[in-house]
Amino acid sequence: MDCRSVEEAILDSLENAGTTSVQREIDVHLANCPACTTFAARQQRVDAQLSRLLVPPELSSGFRKALRKRIRREAMQLWADSLPEKVHFLSCGFATLMCAVLMPFHPAAVLSAGTAATLVTYLLMTAVRNFFESAEESGQ
């Protein structure tokens, strides 16, 4: 083994335990090579210092609780955000059903009421949406 291969083998041995035959070859080389002995000692010092000072940190005990709280809040927010669409969808479904049932008896009244209700709902939804959007912008 030449000096370069021994240096690489020394660096490898710091990452995983090498085979005993490789270790024996390193030992034989180190016994006759002061430069590689210095290199090995220096690398062991570096490794020891890094192991001592770069200690794996642990999450605090309140981490999961705090995360769950944030997720619950986010879920509530998503639910609240989608509420107008859900209400609108249900109302439309109900109105369509009512129209289908009443149309054969009072077609003119159903058509006028349907048109008026659609118009009013659209204007109301637009006004509510604009109100929330401007409130959100002023909040930021």
Query: For binding to another protein (CB under 8 A), which residues are involved?
Result: 8, 11-12, 14-15, 39, 42-43, 45-47, 49-51, 53-54, 56-60, 63-64, 66-67, 70-71, 74
For residues 89, 95, 98, 102, the Cα torsion angle rounded to the nearest 10 degrees is: -150
Contacts for 35 with CB less than 8 Å, ≥ 6 apart: 3
Report whether 122 contacts 91 (CB < 8 A).
Answer: no
Q: CB of residue 35 vs another protein: minimum separation in angstroms? A: 13
Q: How far is the CB of 50 from another protein (least distance, A)?
A: 5
Q: Which is nearer to another protein, 20 or 60 (CB)?
A: 60
Backbone angles phi, psi at 54, to 5 degrees: -95, 75
- Residue 140 in 3-state DSSP? coil
Nearest CB to another protein, comparing residues 60 and 105: 60
- Minimum CB separation of residue 54 from another protein in Å reads 4
In the block, which residue shows the tokens 């509510």?
Answer: 128
Q: Closest CB to another protein among 72 and 106? A: 72
**Cβ closer to another protein: 56 or 139?**
56
